[in-house]
Amino acid sequence: MRNRALGAAALATLTLAATACGGGSTAPSAAPTGSATAAPADKGGGRLVIWADPNRVKALKPFADQFGTENGVSVEVKEISKDNQQTFLTASQQGSGPDVMVGAHDWIGNLVQNGAIDPVNLTEEQKAAFSGIALKAVTFDGQVYAAPYAVENIALIRNTKLAPDAPATLEDMVAKGKELKEAGKVKEILCLPVAQKGDAFHVYPIFAAGGGSLFGTTPSGDPDPKKVLLGSAESVKAFGRLKELGEKGDGALKTSITNENYVATFAGGRCAFLISGPWAMGDVKKGGISYDITPVPSFEGGKPATPFVGVQSFFVAAKGKNKTLAQEFVANYVTNKDVAKALYDADPRPPALTAALQEVQAADADAGKFMDAGKDGFPMPAIPEMQAVWEPFGIAEAAVVKGGDPAEAAEAAQKTIDGSLKN
Amino acid sequence: MPSDVPEAAKPRRAPRPRREITTAYVVTRIAVLAVTAAILLYAVPPLVAARAWIALAVLGVVTAAIVCLYLTRRLIPAKYLIPGTVFLIAFQVFPILYTVSTAFTNFGDGHRGDKQSAVTAIETGSVRQAPGSPEYTLTAAVRGDELVFLLVDPETRRVQTGSGEGLAPLEGARLGVTGKVLAAPGLTVLTAPQAAARGEEIAALAVPTAGGLIKANGLSRAVEGRAALGYDPACDCVRGDGDTWTADEARGYFVNAGGEHLAQGWQVDVGFDNFARVLTNPTISGYFAGVFGWNVVFALASVVTTFALGMGVALALHHPRMRGTRFYRIALILPYAMPSFAMLLVWRDLFNRDFGLVNQLLGLTVDWMGEPVTARFAVILVNLWLGFPYMFLVTTGALQAIPRELTEAASIDGASPWHAFRKVTLPLLLVALTPLLISSFAFNFNNFNAIQLTSEGGPFPAENPQVGATDLLITYTFRLAFGTGGAQFGFAAAISVFIFAIVALISVVAFRRTRRQEEVYA
Amino acid sequence: MRLALRHVFVLVVCAFALFPIVFVVSAAINPLGTLASTDLLPDGASLANFADLFGSDVYPFGRWFLNSVFIALTASFAGLLLSMSAAYAFSRMRFRGRRVGLLALLLIQMFPQFLAIVTIFIIFTKVTELYPAFGFDTSWGLVLLYLGAALGVNTWLMKGFLDTVPKELDEAATVDGATHAQIFWRVIMPLVTPILAVTAMLAFIGIMSEFIIASVFLRDPASKTLAVGMYGMIAGDQRNANFGMFAAATLLTAIPTVGVFLWLQKYIVSGLTSGAVKG
């Protein structure tokens, strides 16, 4: 009897395992607690599914509904809050992804190598309506892969009560910050997140001002993943500048200033200078301080302090069930000014459409100021190799900020990146 | 009895002593059949509609097996084990088997799909608008049953029909302000909802032209484009742009003579390559001993501290004259009732040097997460906070099972309370809890979140950004697998297999030692 | 141990347990609360964050709350039945493969499950097409998924407990002519209420705070659970802006857990020995 018990169990489990592993046409069908009514599966057809992050779902909803009404289709906006890019890739591959995905332009390289998105065909007229940097950001390998809708980059935000004049150089800024700190008016010289693992995105303008660079460039002007320059002499010098600003130097950069506290400290008036982007403005306004936004200054006689520029975009999923509708939505619908403005109202980031930006600027000067600060910015490299750079770069930054040797940190970062790109 | 038992389930060996057919017996059998019927009624029609015959057959076999199992009076252990096992296999064993199977492939970013999808993506991605071609305004229409495009050149407002055969001029069409066709002789113009419903057909229609193909771009525009790259099955290669990329089935890429590959790749079997990479990777092998040592310390310390503290308070509250236990118990389980991801982030900020409450309350300026020793202490402390309520709950439950007479007898015999605890309470507790302690060890051994959300593996020495002081095996190896140009699932799967082997080995050794204990009390 | 000493010890541990939670409370009633507040005392006390939470048109908090409680209650109750049955078989019956089965249960839990997300998509893409009532974005689908973990550690916990219940009890019942089912329901179950209550509690809490699987499974804002919805509140760069509301939500999340605990507490501490006498 024991044998048979085991045999039966084994049989049942094997068949179940076979069901589950079969993937393709089979499904684990033994759902023993099933009692709900059977509804016929919706076979797509007139249905458009959009995935977005939690911030944007609400803003998209009315426009999605309007699009649905105009075209006689149902539109669903779903909210993904964790690992959006990977979730999109996995779901797409298995056939339950969306038709349209909302995300940042620097995903493009990875999405393309996975065949997850289709190019978006914009007319010349449509292309001309976008700001140059937005269009450049969504162009990968000579092909436009997304419809951009918002451009974001960091800038220097200062408390005009504490620091009435925009500093001309980083040295001026640090001097002013130190002066205020010694006078007991502020707690920190500069609010720029470093944290224990560094923050490559926020420190990049200062790194660039010090002469550092990440990649060489290809003849066509794109970043060249084969030429990582983090360990170059110029970059070591730039890390040296970061060290001077760091905990053993001026004390302007500190690992205790993190993404969680840097905006709050500025908004609480305990810091005269903040380096952040449009997403910080909600908190800054809530803090009720008077402020102004200017480009991040460079060192005296240094290189331009170019920030990274990120572009929020709409993608057409290559494995979507309804690509025609998706193309229609992305290429012909969200590229219109009203949608761009509504998205701005929901989450104030400067629109990528020049016409929308101009309207927004009339009501809110901040958008234009951020745009100005980023006009010479460096679109975040969309190449997949960039993934290998962020973390080692950040750790090298944190190491020098804590007083580590710049040459050693730069060399270690370069070695790590080279090693992982070789694999 | 035999009347309601299917033939297959009839006892073949010497039957057990017969029992009466009670009402409960009949009711449970009817219930089994009713539930089965309900499940089949629910599950079968969609499978038939989807023509999923294999799934249907499996469903039938599994259902029959389960029905037999519950109709017969034999196979009693299986009756109790099968319900949970079904779910265990579908949602725990299957993922494990799948993970192990991917360890032998290059599954990961750039290699997620099959070759056909890669070819499609390469061709689609290389489509360029034909130079100088108009951007047509598109209206979808039907001629008889056939879907056709009505294409309007916005500059000349000339109308053409486009079908699988090519372009043909169309006269007499009426245009709207947007340039869309409102009506055309001999054709039924589709309204927007009608066109939207036929989205797949519209996407599939390609109108051949001299310069390439005209394809729909949404519902209202169409462009003439040409794929710069094309796959040629004869040479198993992709050609175009004056270059040739040949399929490399070992790597899952199309590679040209210069060794450059196209971005889109596909999934291929790589044998034991991933395992070899784990063993030969200089970062993994170079730091393995140190990380492994700390990993064991972390897991052991987590188990010992949570168990000691949880058991300590459970014992303290386990006293007949203890007052306020209800309040205490609620306070003690609160850490466990909070979403742990949130509390890990809160703790990280509490340990901030300049902004954190810990330093502020203690009047210190310690860079907790910035120094190896303090960072290790901090992550263990946070893990203690997160984990001790679990041990507290479990021990509280287990303490109820120990007859108070036993401990009382010990104290009457003159044993000190500590002695009574050591000799009576603790051994009895350990009988019930040792397996939990082992599984808690295993859980903490791979406690990715506890590290990732607090110290992120740091602090890192300046000369090595790959291995931090609080890194566990799973955090530093996964950094290698996921931090380099996308996720490398195959590599991570191989790493998982190794880590599993290590944890399982430790656990099995520990488990063997409990065997004798169990036989005593079982 | 003297009673006073016990109180002192427990109070110290309670202080440790509550320390970060006080910080969260402070953030929840602080109208300007951020994750970075350095002060335990809020800048002002108000229930604005709670009002925002319930008045929010972005976050259907009430729905999340109901979803969570429904899923946690259903899955923990069903899971309890599954694991209790298995524990009964493992503790009371001797069959081939028993030892291996037990060990397998322990080992399965140890495998790093990072690819589970991929397999969820493989399985539920099909389920969603065939049986939408159990597909993505449904509470029932998630309940099924959670039942996969039901056997896991809980079977061990309950088996360890059952092993301490004297076998003579069920042997006596067998002699009286009781079937295995009767013994299971009428003899064993009443005896092990403390551990049933503890396991139910553990399962309930575990499901209430689970978000890694739920976050890919539930995408409709209205279908989300508290943990998923709340994770969305502080995802990305909204972390600071929403922290006050998030802290308020965290506190409210604890309410069902505490409620379930209060309900189960009397079973947890009822004591096996008294039950045994009754049995």
Which residues have CB under 8 Å from C2's CB, separation 6+? none
Task: Give the residue from A309, A311, A310, A334 showing the smallest Cα distance to A100.
Answer: A334
Residue A188's beta-bridge partner residues? Answer: A271
State the pLDDT confidence band at B513, using cuts at 50, 70 and 90: confident
**Residue-wise pLDDT tens digits, B273-286:** 999 988 988 888 88
Q: Does B321 touch chain A (CB under 8 A)?
A: no
Q: Does A3 touch chain B (CB under 8 A)?
A: no
Check pLDDT > 90 for residue B209: no
* Structure-block tokens of residue A152: 């974001």
- Contact in structure between A96 and A319 (CB atoms under 8 Å): no
Task: Report d(CA C197, CA B86) in Å as an integer.
Answer: 24
Task: Give the residue from C78, C169, C251, B58 showing the smallest Cα distance to A13.
Answer: B58
State the pLDDT confidence band at A223, using cuts at 50, 70 and 90: confident
pLDDT of residue B516: 56
State the pLDDT confidence band at C68, using cuts at 50, 70 and 90: very high
**Residue-wise pLDDT tens digits, B85-111:** 888 888 888 889 999 999 999 998 889
ipTM score for this prediction: 0.86
- Contact in structure between A193 and A176 (CB atoms under 8 Å): no
Q: Roughly how many angstroms between the first and final C-alpha of chain B, as a whole number? A: 35
pLDDT of residue A77: 92
Q: Is B193 exposed, middle or buried (0-12, 13-18, 19+ CB in 10 A)?
A: middle
Residue percentage of chain A with pLDDT more than 90: 48
Buried b (16+ CB within 10 A) or exposed e, C79-108: bbebbbbbbbbbbbbebebbeebbbebbbb
Q: CA nearest C231 in A: which residue?
A: A81
Give the best-scoring range by mean pLDDT among A102-116, B161-175, C22-36: A102-116
State the pLDDT confidence band at B15, using cuts at 50, 70 and 90: very low
H or E element, residue A413: helix A406-422
Better-predicted residue by pLDDT, A16 or A101: A101
Distance of CA A256 to the CA centre of its chain: 23
Which residues have CB under 8 Å from B34's CB, separation 6+? none
Check pLDDT > 60 for residue B521: no
Task: Report d(CA A341, CA A149) in Å as an integer.
Answer: 9
Q: Between chains, do B317 and C111 touch, taking CB under 8 Å as contact?
A: no
pLDDT of residue A300: 92
**Which amino acid is located at B184 in the chain?**
A
Task: Report d(CA C8, CA C17) in Å as an integer.
Answer: 14
Q: What are the contacts of B232-235 at 24+ separation with CB within 8 A?
A: none
Q: Is B304 exposed, middle or buried (0-12, 13-18, 19+ CB in 10 A)?
A: middle
Q: With left for phi above 0 and alpha for psi between -120 and 50, is residue B140 left, alpha or beta?
A: beta
Q: Between chains, do A46 and B125 touch, taking CB under 8 Å as contact?
A: no
**Residue-wise pLDDT tens digits, B133-148:** 888 889 999 988 889 9
Residue with tokens 């003899």: C187
Which of A 175-204 lie inside 8 A of B, CB atoms?
A: 196-197
**Which amino acid is located at A350 in the chain?**
P
Q: Tell me which chain C residues have a C-beta less than 8 angstroms from the C-beta of A188.
A: none
pLDDT of residue A299: 94
> Please, where are the H alpha helices in A304-347?
323-327, 337-346
- Which chains does A contact via 3+ CB–CB distances below 8 A? B, C
Residue B105's beta-bridge partner residues? Answer: B269
Residue percentage of chain B with pLDDT more than 90: 22
Task: Report d(CA A194, CA C153) in Å as an integer.
Answer: 40
Residue with tokens 């950069």: A253
Task: Report d(CA C117, CA B69) in Å as an integer.
Answer: 32
CA distances from B319 to B396, B399, C1, C4 (A): 11, 11, 10, 12
HSE (CB half, 13 Å, CA atoms) of A86? 18
Q: Between chains, do C211 and B338 touch, taking CB under 8 Å as contact?
A: no
pLDDT of residue A169: 94
State the pLDDT confidence band at C47, using cuts at 50, 70 and 90: confident
Give the number of other Cβ atoms within 10 Å of residue B500's Cβ: 20
Residue B127's beta-bridge partner residues? Answer: B227
pLDDT of residue C239: 62
Compute, in degrees rounded to 10, the torsion defined by CA atoms A169, A171, A176, A180. 140
> Please, where are the H alpha helices in C131-224?
139-147, 152-163, 167-175, 180-182, 189-191, 193-209, 212-217
Better-predicted residue by pLDDT, A236 or B24: A236
Indicate the residue of A79, A282, A283 with minimum beta-carbon distance to C232: A79
pLDDT of residue C270: 60
Q: Between chains, do A282 and C241 touch, taking CB under 8 Å as contact?
A: yes
Which residues have CB under 8 Å from C42's CB, separation 6+? C26, C27, C29, C30, C31, C33
Check pLDDT > 50 for residue A4: no
* Structure-block tokens of residue C94: 């001797």
Q: Between chains, do A94 and C233 touch, taking CB under 8 Å as contact?
A: no
State the pLDDT confidence band at A120, using cuts at 50, 70 and 90: very high
B65 Cα to chain C: minimum distance (Å): 18
CA distances from B77 to B252, C89, C153 (A): 48, 5, 19
- Which chains does C contact via 3+ CB–CB distances below 8 A? A, B
Reduced to 3 states (helix: H, G, I; strand: E, B; else coil), residue A164 is coil
Q: Tell me which chain C residues have a C-beta less than 8 angstroms from the C-beta of B333.
A: 201, 205, 257-258, 261
Give the best-scoring range by mean pLDDT among A239-253, B66-80, C117-131: A239-253
Task: Give the residue from A412, A392, A383 showing the smallest Cα distance to A226.
Answer: A383
Q: CA nearest C196 in B: which residue?
A: B397
Q: Between chains, do A256 and B352 touch, taking CB under 8 Å as contact?
A: yes
pLDDT of residue A191: 94
Taking all residues of chain C, what is their mean pLDDT, rounded to a whole number? 82
Check pLDDT > 60 for residue B3: no
Task: Give the residue from C260, C80, C261, C71 showing the smallest Cα distance to C154.
Answer: C80
Residue B142's beta-bridge partner residues? Answer: B147, B188
Size of interface A-B (CB pairs under 8 A): 302
Check pLDDT > 80 for residue B308: yes
A396 Cα to chain C: minimum distance (Å): 23
Task: Give the residue from B244, B214, B215 showing the smallest Cα distance to B229.
Answer: B244
pLDDT of residue B1: 34
Range C58-81 average pLDDT: 91
pTM: 0.87
State the pLDDT confidence band at B157, using cuts at 50, 70 and 90: confident
Which residues have CB under 8 Å from B361's CB, separation 6+? none
Task: Report d(CA B115, CA B124) in Å as an integer.
Answer: 14
B410 Cα to chain C: minimum distance (Å): 15
Task: Report d(CA B81, CA A6) in Å as an integer.
Answer: 11
Task: Give the residue from A24, A225, A227 showing the smallest Cα distance to A113.
Answer: A225
Which residues have CB under 8 Å from A237's CB, separation 6+? A210, A211, A212, A406
Task: Report d(CA A326, CA A329) in Å as an integer.
Answer: 5
H or E element, residue B24: helix B23-49
Taking all residues of chain B, what is their mean pLDDT, rounded to a whole number? 84
Reduced to 3 states (helix: H, G, I; strand: E, B; else coil), residue B181 is strand
- Contact in structure between A102 and A77 (CB atoms under 8 Å): no
Q: Between chains, do A82 and C211 touch, taking CB under 8 Å as contact?
A: yes
Task: Report d(CA B432, CA B314) in Å as an integer.
Answer: 15
Task: Report d(CA A41, CA B336) in Å as an integer.
Answer: 40
Range B485-505 average pLDDT: 88
